[in-house]
Amino acid sequence: MPNELKILFATSNKNKIKEARVVLQPLGYSVQQLLINGTPPDFIEPQTEDIGIISKSKVRQSLEMISGTELSGFSILVEDSGLFINNLGDFPGVYSL
């Protein structure tokens, strides 16, 4: 597509990148892994049970990492989740692997 929009996916999980491409490429988006100096970035993850706070933190950190680079201006995608089991009081929650 001539006007593909590029999205940088802030993840080290290759399967997440493949899944995002399957969904987004037909819509005109090019999904690339966010790499800093050739490697996926390490994030400082807030210790909270709020997935929204964790995701927003990763977006902010990603934007700071690409600020002033050739990647500046591209969209950032993050995906975070947890396993919440009602009978266990939502354990393990955001701390699941």
Domain boundaries, the chain: 5-93
Q: What is the per-residue pLDDT for 37?
A: 93
pTM for the full predicted model: 0.82
Known catalytic membership, residue 80: yes
For the segment 25-69, what is each residue's pLDDT rounded down to a tens digit? 999 999 999 999 999 999 998 988 888 999 999 999 999 999 999
What kind of architecture, by CATH, is found in domain 5-93? Alpha-Beta Complex (3.90)
Contact 43/61 with Cβ under 8 angstroms? Answer: yes
Angle CA 48–8–45, to nearest 5? 15
For the chain, the residue count is: 97
Task: Please state, in angstroms and rounded to a whole number, the distance separating the CA atoms of residues 82 and 77.
Answer: 17
> CA-based Rg of the chain, rounded to a whole angstrom?
15
42, 50, 80, 90: which is the annotated catalytic residue? 80
Average of per-residue pLDDT across 70-78: 94
